[in-house]
């Protein structure tokens, strides 16, 4: 029987609803800790309550600690798979961080819940069961960190939370999930073409994320033009364009060697250097702004944070993206 390390980090999956007020809050003890017996036939679960955090409290520091704990378990404790339970708000950022910093074949699965443990139709235990099945599946090996929720298996690179409350919140725009859980069967039907890995020991860079809007000027960009800023990601308009009033501040940031990475604020599709007008993508790229494809703003920010650990050289950063 396979041994699976389960790392609980908090989130709704570990919370309960106050039946009078409807407010959802953390418990003194994670309710999933009492459900281990349900999976005795599937796996030998080694369970640790590593954090008890709502996921808006998660920072790259906790992500790095998780990475180090998982690495230790794979290298020195011989676990066959890992499950991380996590709040859904920032689950995709932790998943992508682990995906690009852990270089191992064993299945690493992240899951969570949209309804807390005592709500009618609570999805936590169900998602956890799916995560156990995927974590013990031979086919889940060598696929990076996978997000398992609501009977679907997504890559951490492209998955995103799309709904504030619906249990079908995790989606992979443009590409779709790579697998399904159909009753008790785990079925994969797609694969990522290329897997990226970075060796990382620290996460102490300041990387910011801004969203572009019609009429945007230089104010926010100027505020970020300080020696404390190590990098910036902008969710640009459409295929990757910005209002012309942002250009002077963008130039100053680039002159100060602050790397700027551009993604699209569109929910589907990729950013491209197509348009040749003031603020158009072609001109932004010529200025030295780095384009990236398919990543959301929060994930491009994680990638820049991690990549800056390896290099601050513009050309190398561009190659990574
Ligand atoms: N706000 C919660 C969190 O991210 C939502 C959830 O767990 O789904 O911790």
pLDDT per residue as tens digits for the range 180-211: 999 889 999 998 887 789 999 999 999 999 99
Residue of 3, 9, 12, 20 marked catalytic: 12
For residue 194, being part of any structural domain is answered with: no
Residue 226 lies in domain: 207-320
For residue 180, being part of any structural domain is answered with: yes
What is the CA(55)–ligand 1 centre distance, in A? 6
Same domain, 161 and 298: no
Q: What is the pTM of this model?
A: 0.95
Q: Residue 51: give its domain's CATH number.
A: 3.40.50.1170
For residue 240, being part of any structural domain is answered with: yes
For residue 197, being part of any structural domain is answered with: no
> Which ligand 1 atom is nearest residue 13's CA?
7
For residue 251, being part of any structural domain is answered with: yes
Which of 17, 26, 57, 88, when mutated, tests ligand 1's pocket best, judged by the most ligand atoms within 8 Å of its CB? 88
Question: pLDDT by residue (tens digit) across 213-226?
Answer: 999 999 999 999 99
Task: Give kind and range of the element (H or E) at residue 180.
Answer: strand 179-182
For residue 148, being part of any structural domain is answered with: yes
Cβ(99)–Cβ(144) below 8 Å: yes
Pocket flag, ligand 1, residue 218 (CB < 6 Å)? no
> Which ligand 1 atom is nearest residue 53's CA?
9
Same domain, 183 and 216: no
> Which ligand 1 atom is nearest residue 89's CA?
4
C-alpha–C-alpha distance, residues 153 and 179, integer Å: 5
Same domain, 9 and 149: yes
Q: Any catalytic annotation for residue 12?
A: yes
Question: pLDDT by residue (tens digit) across 113-145?
Answer: 999 999 999 999 999 999 999 999 999 999 999
Pairing of strands 145-149, 108-111: parallel
Q: Which residue has the higher pLDDT, 25 or 5?
A: 5
Same domain, 216 and 93: no
C-alpha–C-alpha distance, residues 69 and 295, integer Å: 26
For residue 169, being part of any structural domain is answered with: yes
3-state secondary structure of 138: helix
Count of CB atoms within 10 A of residue 17's CB?
18
Same domain, 137 and 102: yes
């Amino acid at each position: 029987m396979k041994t699976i390390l389960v790392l609980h980090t908090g989130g709704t999956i570990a919370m309960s609803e106050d039946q009078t007020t409807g407010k959802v809050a953390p418990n003194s003890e994670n309710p999933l800790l009492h459900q281990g017996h349900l999976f005795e036939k599937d796996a030998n679960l080694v369970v640790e309550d590593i954090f008890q955090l709502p996921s808006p409290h998660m920072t790259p520091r906790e992500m790095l600690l998780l990475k180090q704990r998982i690495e230790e378990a794979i290298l020195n404790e011989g676990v066959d798979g890992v499950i991380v339970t996590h709040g859904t708000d920032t689950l995709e950022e932790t998943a992508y961080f682990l995906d690009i910093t852990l270089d191992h074949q064993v299945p690493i699965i992240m899951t969570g819940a949209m309804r807390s443990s005592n709500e009618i139709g609570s999805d936590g235990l169900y998602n956890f069961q799916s995560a156990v099945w995927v974590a013990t599946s031979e086919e889940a090996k060598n696929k990076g960190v996978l997000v398992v929720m609501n009977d679907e298996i997504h890559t951490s690179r492209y998955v995103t939370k799309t709904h504030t409350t619906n249990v079908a919140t995790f989606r992979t725009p443009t590409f779709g999930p790579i697998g399904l859980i159909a009753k008790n069967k785990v079925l994969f039907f797609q694969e990522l073409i290329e897997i990226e890995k970075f060796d990382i020991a620290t996460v102490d860079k300041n990387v910011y994320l801004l969203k572009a809007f019609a009429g945007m000027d230089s104010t926010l960009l100027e505020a970020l033009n300080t020696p404390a800023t190590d990098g910036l990601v902008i969710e640009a308009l459409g295929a990757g364009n910005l209002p012309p009033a942002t250009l002077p501040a963008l130039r100053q940031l680039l002159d100060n060697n602050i790397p700027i990475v551009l993604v699209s604020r569109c929910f589907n599709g990729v950013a491209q250097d197509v348009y040749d007008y003031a603020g158009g993508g072609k001109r932004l790229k010529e200025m030295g702004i780095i384009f990236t494809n398919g990543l959301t703003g929060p994930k491009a920010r994680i990638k820049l944070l991690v990549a800056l650990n390896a290099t601050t050289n513009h050309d190398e950063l561009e190659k990574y993206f």
